Structure 1
Amino acid sequence: MSPRETEWVIIDGAPSSGKTTIVHALHTRGFRIIPEVARSLIDIELAKGRSLEHIRGELGSAIREEFQESLLSIYLQQFRNIDPEEFVIFDGALPHIDAYIALENTTPIPEVMEESQKYHFRQVFVFDPLPFEHDHVRVEDQQSALFLDQKIRSIYHELGYQPISVPVASVEERLGFVLAHLQCIFADHTSSFSARRSCRDATCARNGFPAFLHAGSQ
């Protein structure tokens, strides 16, 4: 069965790659974004009084597997509830769960790849890693981040994507790089995009497509 075509864009990368900074910047410019599932889940559990070590499973593989299963469940719920024709930017996505499974050497979850193959994302960006910085949810280190970077890329290649690598640069330069590619993505789109180009701002906003990308294209 062919995968379901979507207008979803994935911004992915290893921890401390700067992807979330750019996702937040895109959000301020009118894009609909879906926050990183793992970080959101960790913040919720921390608010309940659980320790980061317990949440991330440093106490044993069973807890790590429980965390990964929770991530899978949330991603599947998102995929089923979001309109595939809506232009949405995801901060990370279902396929990268397998990268963390490989890093942590826990039991594979076949559903990760099975479910990932049911959808075709409009485009995938993978951010090149930056020097590693710890924060309140990260338990990895620079070596782990480099491993995850390569694994994430290989997983998307395995799924048939040619991810766009976002090079190391300033926040403004990376944001401009991503915005330029988003414009190219839709300039090459089919007649459905041609219809969008003729829409007024209100229609563009209703479709989840930021009107500023139409500037100069009318």
Structure 2
Amino acid sequence: MKRYILTGTPGSGKTSLLHALKRQGYSVVEEAATDIITLEHGRGNLEPWRRANFIDMITSLQKMRQIEASMFPDESQIYDRSPICTLALSRYLGYPPSDCLLEELERIERENIYQRQVFFLEHLGFCQPTEARKITFEESLLFEKIHAETYASLGYNLIKVAPEAISQRVHRIINWMNNG
């Protein structure tokens, strides 16, 4: 099975692109961080990223989703972010990587979980705040840089996906997966 990562700065269109790929019949795995933030907001914690276990909560959900998705008979899967993104988030927030995150990074490397080619969506020139996304455009550019550096430092190759219409981005990604 081929597992592709779709990543990029917050607000780069990952979720919209992921949903478009799903409509095309591709197996997709949703992002974990947004779901953790939404869950914590529901519990009254408006800044869950300040909690000591925030990174571990994301990592655990990512691992659970990846293991569940491995049971599907799909030839390929597309993941909205990965534990490598969680490492980038940890670095962005100034947290040392937790044992939970380090163990998961070791597991995905040892088991060769993800393709080494990663679809990296370039920013759209703005970042729209949401309930889960409280980051400015300027902050998102720093986060984008940390993401790119983190993936490169772990030996992943970024396939940059330029900002264009979703249909064009979908076509480029499908083309690359079929011919790459």
TM-score bracket, normalised by the shorter chain, equals: 0.7 to 0.9
Shift of 1:144: 1.9
Match of 1:56, as an amino acid? Answer: W
Of 28-37 and 108-117, deviating more is 108-117
Report the counterpart of residue 65 of structure 2 in structure 1: 78
Structure 2 regions of 5+ residues with no counterpart?
none
Q: Secondary structure at the match of 1:52?
A: coil
Paired residue for 1:191? none
Q: 96, 100, 108: which is aligned to 2:89? A: 100
Q: Give me the whole-angstrom Cα distance separating, in 1, the residues matched to 2:84 and 2:45.
A: 26
| 1:127 pairs with one of 118, 121, 132 | 121
Per the alignment, residue 131 of structure 2 pairs with 136
How far did residue 73 of structure 1 move? Answer: 1.2
Q: Residue deviations 1:138-163, cap 9 Å, x none? A: 12211221112111112222222211
What percentage of residue pairs aligned between the two structures are identical? 22
* Deviation, structure 1 residue 95: 0.5
Report the CA distance between 1:18 and its aligned residue.
0.9
Q: Is the Cα–Cα contact under 8 Å of residues 117 and 159 in structure 1 kept in the other structure?
A: no
- Maintained 8 Å contact 2:26/2:78: yes
Q: Distance in 1 between matches of 2:44 and 2:49?
A: 10
SS in 1 for 2:145: helix
Match of 1:197 in 2: none
Aligned to 1:56: 49
Instruction: Evaluate the alpha carbon distance shift between residue 81 and residue 73 of structure 1 in structure 2; reply closer, same or farther with a 3 A threshold.
Output: same
* RMSD after superposition: 1.9
> Could you tell me whether the CA contact under 8 Å between 1:98 and 1:112 is conserved in 2?
no
Equivalents in 2 of 1:121, 1:78: separation in Å? 13
Could you tell me how far apart the structure 2 residues matched to 1:82 and 1:52 are?
Answer: 30
Partner SS, residue 148 of structure 2: helix
Deviation string, structure 1 residues 56-106 (Cα, Å, up to 9, x no partner): 32xxxxx1x311111111222233333287411100111011111111111
- Does residue 114 of the first structure (1) align with residue 101 of the second (2)? no
1:150-187, Cα deviation, whole Å (9 max, x unpaired): 111122222222110001112222222212212213xx
Higher relative contact order (CA 8 A, sep 6+): 2
State the 1:124 CA deviation.
1.2
Distance 2:141 2:104 in 1: 22
Correspondence for 2:152 among 121, 132, 157: 157
Report the Cα distance in structure 1 between the residues aligned to 2:148 and 2:170, rounded to whole angstroms.
Answer: 20
Q: Which has the larger radius of gyration?
A: 1
Superposed CA deviations along residues 34-76 of structure 1, whole A, max 9, x for unmatched, are 1111112222333x332432x232xxxxx1x311111111222
